[in-house]
Amino acid sequence: MLWSNCGDPNNFLSYRCTTIMYKPLPNCLVIKESEIHGLGLFAAENISSGTVFGISHVMDDRFENNYIRTPLGGFYNHSEEPNCETYRLGEFTYLKATRDIGTGEEITCYYTLYPIVAAQ
């Protein structure tokens, strides 16, 4: 429940209670066991190329690696042949489909967990 500021702010009892549902993932995605690693994101319906799923990471230097992962960012897995990409706008990183994705297909992105240094 979330208290809505629609009553007298000096009288707690005059505030009305409103139910607002938080949805950590868009309706077109579900979390399931992945053949790639652990859990993954999967398409619950056909998804068109160019679909933006939402914010996957928020840049914030107060946290390890200077970012916070959202539920969306915490469950997509790596692939050498991904169907999604990330892009940054300000402090937000978004996840976007780069091609049409079929129902049941795992949502993947190309990424590394550490910097890659060329051998000398």
Tens digits of residue pLDDT in 9-18: 444 444 444 5
Q: Say what the pLDDT of residue 113 is.
A: 65
Confidence at 56, pLDDT banded by 50, 70, 90: very high
CA 17 to chain centre: 28
- Domains of the chain plus CATH, in order, are 24-109 (2.170.270.10)
Q: How many CB atoms lie within 10 A of CB 37?
A: 9
Phi, psi torsion values for 51, nearest 5 degrees: -65, 130
pTM beyond 0.85, yes or no: no
Listed residue (37, 38, 48) closest to 79, CA to CA:
37
Q: Are 40 and 34 in contact (CB under 8 A)?
A: yes
Q: Are 56 and 88 in contact (CB under 8 A)?
A: no
H or E stretch including 73?
helix 71-75
